[in-house]
Structure 1
Amino acid sequence: MTGDGALTFRAAGPADWEAVAGLQIASWRSAYRGMLRDDYLDAGIHAERRTLWRSRFTGEPGPDQVVAVAEDGTGLVALACILAGHDPIWGSLIDNLHVRPDRKRTGIGRLVLADAAARIPAVHAGTPLHLTVLDANLPARAAYEAWGGEFCEYLDAELPDGQSLPVRRYRWADPDALIRSLLRR
């Protein structure tokens, strides 16, 4: 989609690392308050996420990192990062899916995820997709279930704020079916 006030979807590049980091920071501060430690969300997240995204974009991200963004006239409003072929059993990892807090529940998240999934390198096309989500993140879990995600397992994950919290793994065996589902809504 393009045009006045509309969204544009594209692959993110090295020049986008600061905007991508900023979007994730805003998303986590909004979504994870009460789940992640306040001192991390208020201060530590800034340097930690900026370091992560700078290295992902300016280091050696490799051809299997797919970062798609959605933007409008105000800047980035959503991003999806997939690490294609990440795991031999689970397939490609949906590592990040973030929507600017004031644009949540507008359908942008599903559209940027569909765009990212369509950009997976051909060598990994057709392999399953998976992600983990904090067990306490009920809105995200509801979205993944509505998009046909199959709950697979509970895990404990070490988080950037130093906690170990329960997460759920969701899987989509057929990425093409996921893309069709996301675009159909």
Structure 2
Amino acid sequence: MKLGALRMRAGARHDTQSITALHAESRQTAYARIMPESLLSGPMSEDRLALWQERLPNDPSATGLFRAAVEHPGRAVHLEVLRANTPAIALYERHGAQRTDERISRFERGFELPELEYTWASPTDLANGLWRGPSRTAGILGRSSVLR
């Protein structure tokens, strides 16, 4: 899928190093002044690498949002975002997400931050929201997204 100048495709294990570097840099930028500096300046690459090695498939055609839309058309897509990450929240709302929960997120390193959950009713609704047009903040991501 192309969204303005952004090209999206399913990630695979061979993308692990690039995704890990992007994830670490994105967190350091997006969460400056939100998360403790000690967490953001520490060695995130090792734990991010393990996370992405676990999440990424060997065969990217076996996963992905659009495949999920076909195989599970009625399942909601949920995404968690820190409440202080207002650019990401604006992006999700602009692309059709509804705020569905608010809670405290507890991090392994011993701190807590307020978190919001945003939901699209289905993968199709998320895809339709993305196709509304290019966004000025098209790289901002929340902490995680899951199909339920």
**TM-score w.r.t. length of structure 1:** 0.60
Structural mapping, 1:20-35, within 5 Å: 20-35=19-34
Distance 1:46 1:162 in 2: 19
The residue aligned with 1:142 is 90
1:134-181 residue CA offsets vs partner (Å, 9 max, x unmatched) = 010010111111112111121111235432211011111133233122
Where does residue 168 of structure 1 map in the other structure?
116
Measured in 2, the distance between the counterparts of 1:7 and 1:130 equals 22
SS of 2:42's partner is helix
Q: Could you say what secondary structure the match of 1:18 adopts?
A: helix
Aligned to 1:54: 53
User: Relative contact order: is structure 1 or structure 2 higher (C-alpha 8 Å, sep ≥ 6)?
Assistant: 2
2:77 equivalent among 113, 126, 129: 129
In structure 2, do the counterparts of structure 1 residues 128 and 45 end up closer, same or farther at CA, with 3 Å as the change threshold?
Answer: same
Which structure features the higher share of strand residues?
Answer: 1
| Residue matched to 2:129 | 181
Question: Contact 1:37–1:161 (CA<8 Å) still a contact in 2?
Answer: no
Aligned position for 1:19: 18
Structure 2 Cα separation of the partners of residues 124 and 58 of structure 1:
19
1:150 counterpart letter in structure 2: Q
State percent identity of aligned pairs: 31
Give the Cα separation in 1 of the matches to 2:108 and 2:96. 28
Q: 1:57 to 1:124 in 2, by over 3 A?
A: same
Paired residue secondary structure (1:20): helix
Q: How many residues are paired up? A: 128
1:55 and 1:148 map into 2 onto residues whose CA distance is 29
Q: Could you say what secondary structure the match of 2:9 adopts? A: strand
Letter in 2 for 1:23: L
Match of 1:40 in 2: 39
Gaps of 5+ in 2: 134-148
Contact 1:129 1:173 (8 Å CA) reproduced: yes
